[in-house]
A and B are shown apart, each in its own frame.
Chain A
Amino acid sequence: MLQQMASVSFISHALPTSSIFSHFCRRKSFLEGSRICRRYLSPASQSYDLVVIGGGSGGLACAKEAASLDKKVAVLDFVKPSPRGSVWGLGGTCVNVGCIPKKLMHQAALMGQATEDAKHYGWQVPEKIEHSWDTLIEAVQNYVRSLNWGHRVQLNEKKVQYYNGWGMFLDDHTIHAKLKDGKEEILHAKNIVIATGMRPRYPSEVSGAIEHCISSDDIFSLRKPPGKTLIVGGSYVALETAGFLQGLGFPTTVMVRSICLRGFDQQMSSLVTDHLSGEVGVDIRWKSVPLSVNKQTDDSLTVRWRDESCKEHEDQFDTVLFAIGRDPQTRNIGLGNTGVQLAPNGKIVGFAEQSSVSHIYAIGDILQGGIELTPVAIKAGKLLAHRIFGASEKYFDYSSVPTTVFTPLEFSSVGLSEESAIERFGEENLEVYHSFYTPLEFTVSSRPASSCYIKAICEKKGKQEILGLHLTGPNAGEIMQGFAVAFRCGLSFEDLSESCGIHPTSAEEIVKLNITKSSGEDPTVSGC
């Protein structure tokens, strides 16, 4: 016992957090004290070839890959509750509060549209079909939980040690883990990968934002139906959320400070928002900002906001969701105890995923100059594991990464936006082929197709290499993937026009492109 007490004291010196427990031990009775001290003895210490901080898409992929190379690997994952108290299991943003639940909610909204279409196709569907938010949330959460479980099983199978705990750097090679159950561990690591991801930002200048408003961290597990909703932001998170909420029957407003989908092709962005406000019915308030959010006695929220002419208004909503951006989780993991440099935005500065400290790496959303996408994090993580532990020299190529925005009218793209292409190559050196098309399925259901559009931005010379390919329409993600492979092969307009279409599909309209913007011709094409 004395020996144990001594070791507790020793540890209490080295590690501030243990001092509480050593003090506690001294004050309790002998027997109880010894029992407690045995439990809260010096935090266990383990050595690993690789410790990954963050159990999201990138972290898990890297950890499992390293384990498959017979390395001793640990993953730390911990979710600090959102301001509204939301937490979730292993898997990171994508699985819990990103791609997966988002796509399922998007699908739920599309199903609503399908029940409408079905009438035109002969199905005797009742005039109005109600929607149960509870049923959807439960179904989504059940699936998410199955993924959490699946990830736990996979880590177990690959013999990756999983700590459900918050990791803090003590120095370049040492991490302190504060586990969910209160235990502590010290992890010594030859190599460390930081994959802590990001969390939604709350505006500090809007009073009531943190107290009363939610974010994407909360929407997918919201117990109460959101009701009349205000979404603040012009990000794809804002637009996607607005799309599925409106599609599920919740009157939704989007408040945008300046433009939507910053960084994306702006013509395509307009088509997305035109469709969102036109056919879907979302109320988009441009050049507007919220000023304050106050909760009423009936739990509704009063939002004071300013429009583009600087006039102030007040509106009532049941739910206010902020989607104004995300912040990297790098400022509270003890990086000050290491030499790792951060960019002003909090992302980790580095080259080829290596930070300013040679054995500390960063992947996923927190990597400066990276791309905030799950498949990017996964691939980069796997390649990194092979570079650290294998004999590989393969680096992740961040160019030509395709992406899809899952708004009600999906928007997919690969390569440069028209603006970027013009900036880089000069307008006179480009030829843009485009068309407005009508998906065959829209004909019978009399759906307007004024926003279904394709454009290929090409170099004017030679075979006309395609610099950017953009598409709005149903299943845009499924369509674009194959073209992204073609893009990687150095796709030219000549290749496109020599390719045979699959009929009848929307995708074939891409290989049928032949009208240029410069010709001024009407780009509306008919199907067959």
Chain B
Amino acid sequence: MYLSVVLLPFPIQWGLGGTCVNVGCIPKKLMHQAALLGEALKDSKNYGWETPEKVQHNWDTLKNAVQDHIGSLNWNYRVQLRDKSVTYINGYAEFTDRHTIKTVNKRNKVQTFKAEKILLATGMRPRYPDIPGVKEFAITSDDLFSLRYCPGKTLTIGASYVSLECAGFLTGMGLDVTVMVRSILLRGFDQQMADMIGTYMEKHGTHFLRKCVPTRIEQIEEGTPPLLRVYYKKTDDPQEFSIDVNTVLMAIGRDACTSEIGLEKTGVLTNPKNGKIPVVNEQTNVPNIYAIGDIMEGGHELTPVAIEAGKLLSRRLYGDSSRQCDYINVPTTVFTPLEYGAIGYSEEDATDTFGEDNIEVYHAYFQPLEYTVAHRDEAGCYGKIICNKADGDRVVGFHILGPNAGEITQGYAVAMKCGATKEHFDTTIGIHPTCSEVFTTMDVTKASGLDVTTTGC
């Protein structure tokens, strides 16, 4: 009989469930959906709906609806833990030795627990840069989804998907939004796709300050929202500029929550650069201590990966399974206004790994049927698959920029797990009319240089 104990870092500003539920995937997707519905309202006129020319958006209504849903998820988790007889402690946990954890709760009650095995899944929190005024006046994704007031004119700082997704949905709600980036967008992602996302966002109302870094933040006026002045400079020029906004959202990266939990008392090694914990099959260098999720070195900072890794680890430790979590071909989606779904290698990484001569890239622009009547931008939606010619044209990279990219990408991730080749894609019949079917008729290679604008039917 094994006792599982769940411990929480404190002070918490949200309920049980972690980043995804409270300040990540869930509220993000709901706010993204709100922005998409704003677009739908505009499109609806072309489809005959007598929608007013301008429809206002109320931040409070959305924020309350989102928080209500999160609250229900927090509750569900409490119920699920209880149903599975898992003891839940809402307290800050620290190691006193390899097998002992001390917790302190809100009321300063201290408890000590001894455990045969300990799993670390403390996740990450947004990073603040070391510049004046940022801690006092800037917010992060930790704060945005429960902000008591409409953010107003917003500056998001960072080129991460967090920055772009937030900038995207805030623009969609009718706010004046600027993104400040130091260099490239979406580091680590396919750069052709990243550039296309930036281009789309710019075309659709989000401003970009490229090659800029913030130097300090001042408050000009108090209020809800306040008026802030952000001073910044270009990366290659010392001259200072400024921009006045109501909200500054820092989204320059996240730090692992592995300092201040007494790890030094256990001997568990962490990467000094990012605080992440190196593991082998989720086991740290200390045999009874394991780590999963965002804090795991070499993993993917994604909820489904963490869930899968966690389940399989438990089955290996306590069941009779030997199955390891498969970190290859993990699909992901960036929920920018035009969504981006990706599986496997970026074009750059595929070229590095397999060699340029062994890579064949098939690609196509496509126009969602729904955009036609809505007179929406014809350019912008794009898909490409990267094949390894040295391995029977196995598909090693999949990328799509278009509406519902997440929904589209999922099935292809399964196909790639099954070892799909270009031939499998070609011999699959398309579902008509959809955006996704473009991948079943992708004939033109990048190498050919031919025009890749597909016509509709």
Chain A residues close to B by CB (< 8 Å): 57, 91, 94-95, 99-100, 103-104, 107-108, 111-112, 114-115, 117-118, 120-126, 129-136, 139-140, 143, 147, 150, 154, 248, 373-376, 379, 397, 400-404, 412, 440-441, 443-444, 475, 477-491, 495-496, 498-508, 510-511, 526-528
Contacts and interface: CB of A to CB of B under 8 A. Distances in A.
A478 B436 contact: yes
B44 interface: yes
A107 B411 CA distance: 23
B417 interface: yes
A483 B29 contact: no
A510 B407 CA distance: 11
Contacts of A132: 48-50
B62 A107 contact: no
A487 B417 CA distance: 12
Contacts of B26: 440, 504, 527-528
Contacts of B429: 373, 375-376, 379, 400-402, 484
A57 B432 CA distance: 11
Which of B55, B308, B409, B457: most chain A CB closer than 10 A? B457
B410 A479 contact: yes
A51 B228 CA distance: 72
B148 to A, nearest CB: 15
Contacts of B330: 500
A526 B76 contact: yes
Contacts of A100: 369, 433, 456-457
B103 interface: no
Which of A143, A401, A491, A503: most chain B CB closer than 10 A? A503
Interface stretch (B2-10, B33-41, B116-124): B33-41
A100 B25 CA distance: 34
A129 B50 contact: yes
Interface in B437-457: 437, 439-440, 455-457
B46 to A, nearest CB: 6
Given A441-B33, A488-B424, A503 B50 contact: no
A111 B44 contact: yes
B410 A481 contact: no
Contact of B408 (A94, A373, A443, A478): A478
B325 to A, nearest CB: 9
B259 interface: no
A132 B46 CA distance: 10
A200 B427 CA distance: 30
Given A122-B59, A444-B30, A503 B76 contact: no
Given A107-B370, A482-B409, A477 B431 contact: yes
B54 to A, nearest CB: 10
10 contacts: A99-B433, A121-B33, A123-B41, A134-B48, A373-B429, A477-B436, A484-B431, A488-B428, A490-B418, A505-B406
Given A484-B429, A505-B407, A114 B44 contact: yes
A124 B62 CA distance: 11
Given A123-B38, A402-B429, A412-B431, A499 B413 contact: yes
Contacts of B55: 118, 123-125
B417 A404 contact: no
Nearest first, the 8 A-B pairs at minimum CB distance are A482-B411, A507-B410, A122-B62, A136-B48, A481-B436, A483-B411, A489-B418, A482-B412
Interface in B66-96: 66, 69, 72-73, 76
A249 B439 CA distance: 36
Given A115-B41, A511-B410, A122 B58 contact: yes
Given A122-B61, A484-B428, A503 B25 contact: yes
A65 to B, nearest CB: 11
B343 to A, nearest CB: 9
A506 B410 CA distance: 9
A108 to B, nearest CB: 4
A440 B29 contact: yes
Contacts of B51: 115, 125, 129
B57 A124 contact: yes
Interface of B: 17, 20-21, 25-26, 29-30, 33-34, 37-38, 40-41, 43-44, 46-52, 55-62, 65-66, 69, 72-73, 76, 173, 302-305, 308, 326, 329-333, 341, 369-370, 372-373, 404, 406-415, 417-420, 424-425, 427-437, 439-440, 455-457
Contact of B432 (A375, A496, A498): A375
A72 to B, nearest CB: 24
Contacts of A508: 304, 410
Contact of B40 (A91, A114, A402): A114
A131 B50 CA distance: 6
A359 B303 CA distance: 58
A115 B456 contact: no
B307 to A, nearest CB: 8
Contacts of A103: 369-370, 433
A374 to B, nearest CB: 5
A108 B65 CA distance: 26
A499 to B, nearest CB: 5
A404 B434 contact: yes
B25 A502 contact: no
Contacts of A485: 411-412, 415, 420, 424-425, 428, 439-440
B414 A486 contact: yes
B366 to A, nearest CB: 12
Nearest to A401: B429
Given A122-B58, A373-B429, A482 B29 contact: no
Contact of A123 (B37, B47, B69, B331): B37
A483 B73 CA distance: 29
Contacts of A143: 372-373
Contacts of A147: 456-457
A198 B73 CA distance: 51
A143 B433 CA distance: 14
A147 B373 CA distance: 12
B40 A505 contact: no
Given A130-B50, A482-B436, A485-B420, 18 more contacts: A94-B457, A107-B47, A118-B41, A122-B60, A134-B48, A135-B46, A135-B47, A135-B48, A136-B48, A478-B404, A481-B440, A482-B409, A482-B413, A483-B415, A485-B439, A500-B304, A502-B332, A505-B333
A200 B65 CA distance: 47
A99 B432 CA distance: 7
A383 to B, nearest CB: 10
A289 B34 CA distance: 44
A489 B420 contact: yes
Contacts of A126: 52
Contacts of A498: 326, 417
Given A114-B41, A485-B415, A485-B420, A500 B305 contact: yes
A526 B34 CA distance: 21
Nearest to A371: B429
B116 to A, nearest CB: 28
Contacts of B65: 120-122, 444
B415 A482 contact: yes
Nearest to A474: B407
A386 to B, nearest CB: 13
A459 to B, nearest CB: 16
B407 A506 contact: yes
Contacts of A120: 61, 65
B427 A488 contact: yes
B373 A95 contact: no
Given A375-B437, A502-B341, A482 B431 contact: no
B48 A486 contact: no
Nearest to B61: A122
A496 B408 CA distance: 16
Nearest to A509: B410
B58 A124 contact: yes
A136 B43 CA distance: 12
B373 A443 contact: no
A112 B331 contact: no
A125 B40 CA distance: 12
Contacts of B427: 397, 488
